[in-house]
Chain A
Amino acid sequence: MKSSAKFVAFTGILAALAVVLSLLENLLPPVPGMPPGAKLGLSNIVSMYAAGCVGFFPAMAISLVKGLFAFLTRGITAGLMSTAGGLFSTLIVWLLLKKLRFGLLGASAAGALAHNAAQLMIACLLTSSAVLYYAPILVLLGTASGILTGLALGVLLPPLEKLQRR
């Protein structure tokens, strides 16, 4: 990635992809019995890729765009939760993946947990601490969805890296 224009455009495309994936995910019917806040986290694939292969600031920017989009489409509460969750999880993923050399599975699971933790904190501040009842379930579901995201990245990364090098 040589020219900066190309770089910005690439980040923009990634941000758009993240927004589209999170929109797609919201279209899925809610699974009965699942606590509020439990999500597949499709768009985390994009944030993780950005944190690992593009850089820290582009990755944070993508999370911000995603949060901003949640503000616009789903209101203040959802916006705050998405922004806080996105930024915190991107930070953790970048830290684990780039600085501490964790594997994809571990970094991705930690990212999902960080996302849940930040969301819970915001939900707790904005609504009531009753949401914390679900915390243990969210930890398990978050780890599971993190592992899925990690596996998906394991498949997607090699070809993407080739693409990027061109």
Chain B
Amino acid sequence: MSSRFPLFRKRDLLIFLLAAVLAGAGFLQWLPKSGAPVAVIEQDGKEIRRVELSSIPQPETLVLDGEISVTILLEPGQVSIIHSDCPDQICVNTGTLTRPGQSAVCLPARVSVRIVGENNSGIDGMTG
């Protein structure tokens, strides 16, 4: 033996096994989480309702009363503002929301509907 320290011993495999397990566990965290899209409905900045989109059994309308009344339609897999007493109707024109990151806002009524969840589209914000 030229050296007191052999290059490799069988027990070294233990270290490599440990490294593989750690790396594997870490990469698992990177996978998209199963977090299903959730619709969050807020009025005046306060959360009114939070519902998992896929778990809505049948169409349901939600009427938010206030100075300006807003009607929200919750359907399996999607949500939309279908009526608002506001003058601009921007929220109604926004259409149907289906994916995380999307939102419909009624400024005059201070009502917002948005979908949160694992953001597959990779969009962080919106301008316009």
State the CA gap A136–B31 with chains docked (Å).
12
- Least CB distance from A96 to B in Å reads 8
A52 touches B22 (CB 8 A): no
State the CA gap A151–B27 with chains docked (Å).
27
Chain A residue at minimal CB-CB distance from B12: A106
State the CA gap A53–B16 with chains docked (Å).
24
Q: Which residues of A contact B14 (CB under 8 A)?
A: 106
Number of interface residues of B (CB under 8 A): 24
Q: Which residues of A contact B7 (CB under 8 A)?
A: 103-105, 150-151, 154
B34 interface hit (Cβ, 8 Å): no
Main secondary structure of the interface of A (DSSP, over half): helix
State the CA gap A154–B8 with chains docked (Å).
9
State the CA gap A100–B24 with chains docked (Å).
26
- Least CB distance from B22 to A in Å reads 5
A136 touches B15 (CB 8 A): no
Q: How large is the interface on A (under 10, 10 to 19, 20 to 34, 35 or more residues)?
A: 20 to 34
Chain B residue at minimal CB-CB distance from A101: B9
Q: Which residues of A contact B25 (CB under 8 A)?
A: 136
Q: Which residues of A contact B27 (CB under 8 A)?
A: 136
- Least CB distance from B15 to A in Å reads 4
Contact of B5 among A97, A100, A113, A140 (CB under 8 A): A97
State the CA gap A106–B14 with chains docked (Å).
8
A143 touches B19 (CB 8 A): yes
Chain B residue at minimal CB-CB distance from A136: B26
B4 interface hit (Cβ, 8 Å): yes
A139 touches B23 (CB 8 A): yes
- A residues 85-99 with Cβ under 8 Å of B? 96-97
A102 touches B23 (CB 8 A): no
State the CA gap A153–B5 with chains docked (Å).
10
A135 interface hit (Cβ, 8 Å): yes
Given contact pairs A103-B8, A103-B9, A136-B30, a sample of 18 additional A-B residue pairs in the complex whose CB atoms are under 8 Å apart: A52-B4, A53-B4, A97-B5, A100-B11, A103-B6, A105-B12, A106-B9, A106-B13, A106-B14, A109-B12, A110-B15, A110-B18, A113-B15, A135-B26, A140-B19, A142-B19, A143-B19, A151-B7
A-B contact pairs, 13 of them (CB 8 A): A52-B4, A102-B15, A103-B6, A106-B9, A106-B13, A109-B12, A113-B15, A113-B19, A139-B26, A143-B19, A150-B7, A153-B5, A157-B5
Q: Could you tell me which B residues sit within 8 Å of A by CB distance?
A: 2-9, 11-16, 18-19, 22-27, 29-30
Q: Which 8 A-B pairs have the closest CB atoms?
A: A106-B12, A136-B26, A103-B9, A103-B8, A154-B7, A139-B23, A106-B15, A143-B19
